[in-house]
Amino acid sequence: MLDKSHETPKYSAVTFLVNVGIQTLIDDQHPIDHNKVIVIDSATIITGSFNFTKAAEKKNAENLLVIKDTPELVKAYEANVQAHAAHAHLYARRSSAASSAAPMAQASGDVHGNRHGKVYRVPGCKSYAGMRPASVVSFATETEAQQTGYRKAKDCP
């Protein structure tokens, strides 16, 4: 299970998981899912600070703990995972015109967020037309942008 920051128009590790048939859930109820937990066959727990990235493996100071033969602890970890899974949804790669280098379409109703500043603009906002395509994340509605952690830009009516 991953947090909502992984649901982007870019091809990512999550896309690889889905493409090989591994069901991946997005927990969008929390800004950051900082858990690093794997429960294997209801018998083994793997946890720690390790992020399962090349940087974690090669550069960072990380820890990884493998816990076996603790059925009560396994049940507790499984219950926690299930609690988050209950309010999560299946990963869906976001489509976005902003993922290409081509100029953005100025379609009425498009909500464009700046992926770096976490602000969004709608047609009629002062800087809407001047947003850099490489920085834009498109949303269908303002509500969708807000649910993803974006706020409306101050230069918008």
Domain ranges of the chain: 2-90, 97-152
Structure tokens at 98: 């902003």
CA-to-CA distance for 128 and 106, rounded, in angstroms? 9
CATH number, span 2-90: 3.30.870.10
Q: Name the amino acid, one letter, at 69.
A: D
Question: Order of strands across the sheet with 2-3?
Answer: 2-3, 25-27, 89-90
List residues with catalytic annotation: 34, 36, 41
Tell me the pLDDT tens digit for each residue of 74-116.
999 999 988 888 887 877 666 544 333 333 333 334 788 888 8
Task: State the chain's mean pLDDT as an integer.
Answer: 79
Is the pLDDT at 11 greater than 90? The verdict is no
Q: What is the pLDDT of residue 95?
A: 53
Average pLDDT estimate for 23-43: 85
pTM given for the model = 0.53
